[in-house]
Each structure stands twice: as C-alpha cells, then as structure tokens.
A and B are shown apart, each in its own frame.
Chain A
Amino acid sequence: MRKPKTIIEKIWEKHIVHHEEGKPDLLYIDLHLVHEVTSPQAFEGLRINNRKVRRPDRTFATMDHNVPTIHRNVIKDEVSKTQMETLKANCEEFGVPLADIHHPDQGIVHVIGPELGLTQPGKTIVCGDSHTSTHGAFGALAFGIGTSEVEHVLATQTIWQQKPKTLNVKVNGKLGTGVTAKDLILAIIGKFGVKFGTGYVIEYTGEAIRDLSMEGRMTVCNMSIEAGARAGLISPDDTTVEFLRGKRHVPNGQEFEQLAEEWKALATDEGAIYDEQVEIDADEIEPQVTWGTNPGMCIPVSANVPTVDDANHDNEREEITRALEYMGLEGGEPISSVEIEHVFIGSCTNSRLADLRRASEIVKGHKVNPNVRAIVVPGSHSVKAQAEKEGIDLIFKNAGFEWRDAGCSMCLAMNDDVVPEGERCASTSNRNFEGRQGTGARTHLVSPEMAAAAAIKGHFVDVRHLSIPTPS
C-alpha cells in the first residue's frame, strides 16, 4: 500500500523542479501575488540585470497597503502616490496584470485572490507579505516572502525552500455560539505561544475546523504567521469546492467537476504522520481579547488582565511589565472594564462579506458610543459593492460608523487611518505590536462581533451576553 501522506507533502512533491541531497529544493510557484510596498525594489532589480518577468500570466498585482480609504481621487501623500505609480509603471513595463486603486477588482491582496478564484487547492502561492498564509484555507501551500525572493520568483517562477516540518493543530469539538474563527486562532496562539509554529507548516484539522466556513478558515490560516508558521493550511473538502464554484478564474461545467475531485484527493490521507501535533478543545474557548503587545497575549473576555505575578520566569516578568506599561494597563483589572476610543473592522483577517454581515447584525438598531470613533473598511471593492447591495453599509452608517473604500487601512496605518498616541483601539486585524496602528497606539485584537459590540458599549463586552436583536 502507498504510504499515507499529508497534503503538505503531496503539494511539495508535485512542485519540485530540482532536488539535491542536503540542499533546499527548487520549487515551482503557481501564483505570485504582488503589491505596492514590497515590490518596487524587486522590479528595479530585474531592470538592473536586464531580466524579464518569466510568467506574467501567473502573476497578479494590486494596491492595498497604503491606498487611501476615503477621497480616493486625490492622494495627498506624495510618497505613497509615488509607490502606487511605480507599481503601475512596473506592471505596464513587465506585462503584469494589475487591479489598481480604481479597478473594480482592487482590494487587499489576500481578499481578492480567493474572491477571483485565483487561489485554488494544491497551488503553491507566494506574495511579499507574511499573511499570504491566508490562502492556505483552500488547501494551497501559501507563504510570505521577502523582496529578494519576490524578485527571484518574478525572474524564475521558482523559489529555493527547505522542506518544512509538518505540525497538526487539531481542534476537537465544536465552537460555542458567539465564538468565532478569530477567537479560535487567538486562543490557539494564546495557548501555544507566538513561535510554536516556527519552522513548520501547520495543518489545521478536527471537527471545529471542518465546521468553519471558507471565510472562517481564511481567518484561521491568516494568523498562522502570528504563531511563527510561514504557512498554515486546511485540506480541501466540499466547503472549499462550493466556495470556488463559479469564481472567475476557475473553469466551469465538467472541467470544474473533475478539478473538484482532484482537489479533494489532495486532502491528507488517513494515517499520515506529522512531525508534531497539538490539540485544543473548541468548546472551552470563549471570545478572546488581546491585552498586550503580541497576539499571544490574549485572554477570554471574562478574564482579568494578567499581572507580573503571573509570570513564570524573569524574562516573562519583563515582557509583561513592558506590555502593561505600553498598553496603559494596571494588570489585574477585568478586560471588560477597559474603555476604548477607536474601533476598526477590516484587514485581511476579518474584512470579508461574512465578517461584515455578522458584525452588522450586532450593530443593527444601535448607536456607536459617543466616546468611540468606529470605521469599517471592506476588504475589497467587490465586498464593498455586495455589502451595499445588501444594505449593510446603511446599518453601519446609521449607527455612526464610517464606511470606507477597500484597503489595509488601520491594520498597519500606512495611510491616514491612524490611531493617535495613547489611544485604544478594538481591532479585527492580526497584529497588536507596539506602534502597529500608529506610534504609541494601543491595539486590542478581537473578532468582528466583539469589535462591533465594543463600538456600541465603549468597552469590551462578551457578545454572548448582549441582547442581540434577531436579524430579520
């Protein structure tokens, strides 16, 4: 009998161009996504060396990181503007398809890949962005690369990679009502730490993962990098196939059905062995809130912020002290008593239609707390358009949220969407590092539902105990 294999091994083996004992493998790349921030130096490198883009047809570019999300026709920031213009010029020169700021396909690169059906099971996908792991939700091997590697992939459509170790993160049981994919991934990182995945590719398995929608799976895989793993993926199943059916870049009819069978056959074989495995019980997970300055510093919404006495060793004492100081917290107070000034619903973690729908259900019929400034930034142009068709924009706007154009926005605050120094933001993004949302800004990572509830109450609340009007 054939040796059972993980999906990771199957994809890897299918993409080896060159193998030499004791060296990394040369892997073929099926899809290369490009954005304005990590590509200019790569194109410049091609030009200097008189090289071409080998497969423009396997390359796709967009603008997301520093696009304005309001008043798009005038870009005030000259440096951002240059970066966008540079991408446009580079794409024209090298023949790379581009969804620029005014294009209907524009959006956060990890939102539009799946939306257009460019992201497919079994593909190797890279992008000069660490959250490329998002595409793993489809059973693709997708990982972030640096700019030198971007140049390398542009020139050769390949990349040198050491075969990664495999790690099975098994999620047993079911998530409770009001507990989301975001809470799940935060709880995983909270439990196992911000570097337990370093050197591994994670496969998420178990009942709670199977139950997730594609949007939920993307949220989980998106944050693999916050656990240190370059890639995280989920074996394809019917949920995957149904999501992709009818998308622009997948075939139709019989061809699709055949492809769907091939995709499902990629799933990890029964009895395949991983290098490492960890387990977590879904039913024990509560809605999560981060209190500190990395995503592992998270607690259930019902808990108190830790104090230095909770540290296990000296280094951890220092870390907690520094994080509490930066976050302006005492330690020991209930996280639910912490008041916020900003709410950001957006980012490649939580800005898809399903995220906005769920958040809007919480918001419906309420008003944003007078002390809070709240913004919603859809992940793509098309998410925005669809949400507007469904009237979701009106629910947010009537409640007092700002409704913006698509982009990364306040996730990393490269444009004007910045949290001021010392102020606090409930954010559906993925990083709560010092200064991430603005110098001195204090970020608390939460799910879209939790962010919506915090916007209304002005502090964190357990969404499970909110009296939510039943959506009609």
Chain B
Amino acid sequence: MEPIRKHEGLVYPLNRANIDTDQIIPKQFLKRISRQGFGQFVFYNWRFDSKGELRNDFSLNQPKYQGTSILVAGENFGCGSSREHAPWALQDYGFRVIIAPSYADIFYNNCTKNGILPVKLTEEEVQTLINNAEADQYHVTVDLEVKKVYDNQGFEASFDLDDYKREMLLNGWDEIAVTLTHEGKISQFEQANG
C-alpha cells in the first residue's frame, strides 16, 4: 500500500455521529470483484437522488469541497458491516485521512490496511475542525511521524496510534510478508496443536 507520512489537504466536514458502512457504500455496489473504482459510489444515497442525479443539498457535492482529502466526522464512524469496500470507496474518492472522536473497530483496522490514516481527536477538537471547515475552505496538515494535526492559524492537536499500525502506514508494508517472517513459529504452533 501507499505509505503515508505527512499529508496536507482540504477538510470536508460531515457533522454526523454513527455513520455506518451502509451509508459509506451501499450494498448494491459490493458485487464487484476488484478493489478499484468504488469512489464514484461513496455516500451514494446522500450524494445522489433516486434518479441518480447529484443532490446539490448534500455538502460533499458543493464546489467548495471539491478536491477534499481529509474527512472529519462524528463519533463511532464506520460502524456496521465489515465491508472493506468502505475504506476502498473513501480512498478511491480521494480521502487519505479521516478524523473523528471514535471509530468502529473493524473499520478502523480496515483503514490502516489500505493506507488511510484514521485519526482520533477529542470531541472538542473535532468540533473545531468541523466549524472551521463549514465556515470556509479549510486546510490542515496531518503528520504521522509526530502524530499531530495542525493548521496555519494556530490549531494544533496530538493523536495516538499504536506503534505497529503507525509503522505499517509510514512504510506502506505488506502485512502478509511481515507475518511470513514468523513462518517458523506458525509451523511450530501447528505441530504442537494439530
């Protein structure tokens, strides 16, 4: 996967809690058998009306958010199904970083396997980012090396990510290859346990 160290981008605020993976990518698009091309379907039922026309009243369709790469949302982001199509769709649409107060476990993991950086900030910090991005075009920088998010107007916040995931993301490693360096131990385990 593509490594991510430091990312500067336009923020898209989605001020809702409990956004589930059925919203991120509805099931009618899960029938494809490749990893590519899901971006056009992201938030489909919000972005398009029943005739398949773009809905102007949904913020992601507004001109000021075109080219966004940082999604900021409410708590428990990515709850529901385990579908990895959700991070694939977000990434393919152009998001490299997600910022939220909390995530569903499986979604969080899925992001880190695909080079998307899921950042956890406090409710207040997230609200600040959302307010700024709703008011105007708003850019922030996310630096995984020092685990900080900042803008050029004095906002700065630290976040945590376990060392293992951080290392994987920073280097863009293939996790299976890493695991296979433990091949001896896996075989040993199998011999001992049948």
Contacts and interface: CB of A to CB of B under 8 A. Distances in A.
A11 to B, nearest CB: 13
A23 B164 contact: yes
A83 B31 CA distance: 6
Given A80-B31, A146-B82, A194-B18, A439 B185 contact: no
Nearest to B111: A146
B152 interface: no
A158 B18 CA distance: 30
Contacts, number: 162
A83 B106 contact: no
A82 B87 CA distance: 23
Contact of A198 (B74, B80, B104): B104
A300 to B, nearest CB: 22
A435 interface: yes
Interface in B16-36: 16-18, 20, 22-23, 26-28, 30-35
Contacts of B179: 26, 152, 155-156, 158, 160
A199 B102 CA distance: 10
Contacts of A198: 76, 102-105
B168 to A, nearest CB: 9
Nearest to B20: A433
A148 B16 CA distance: 27
A364 interface: no
Interface residues of B, number: 50
A156 B23 contact: no
A414 B27 contact: yes
A17 B31 contact: no
A230 interface: yes
Interface string B24-59: 001110111111000000000100001000000000
A431 interface: yes
A472 interface: no
A433 B26 CA distance: 11
Interface in B89-115: 102-106, 109-110, 113-114
B31 A79 contact: yes
A148 B74 contact: no
A144 B81 CA distance: 9
A166 interface: no
28 contacts: A26-B182, A37-B83, A38-B82, A44-B33, A145-B106, A146-B82, A146-B84, A146-B109, A149-B110, A152-B175, A155-B179, A155-B180, A157-B186, A158-B179, A158-B186, A198-B102, A294-B20, A315-B17, A319-B18, A322-B16, A412-B81, A414-B28, A414-B31, A433-B23, A434-B22, A434-B23, A434-B45, A439-B50
Interface of A: 17-18, 22-24, 26, 28, 37-38, 40-41, 44, 49, 51, 54, 65-66, 77, 79-80, 82-83, 86, 128-130, 144-149, 151-152, 155-158, 160, 162, 194-195, 198-199, 225, 228, 230, 294, 315, 318-319, 322, 412-414, 421, 431, 433-436, 439-440
Interface of B: 16-18, 20, 22-23, 26-28, 30-35, 45, 50, 74-76, 79-84, 87, 102-106, 109-110, 113-114, 162-164, 174-176, 179-180, 182, 185-186, 189-190, 193
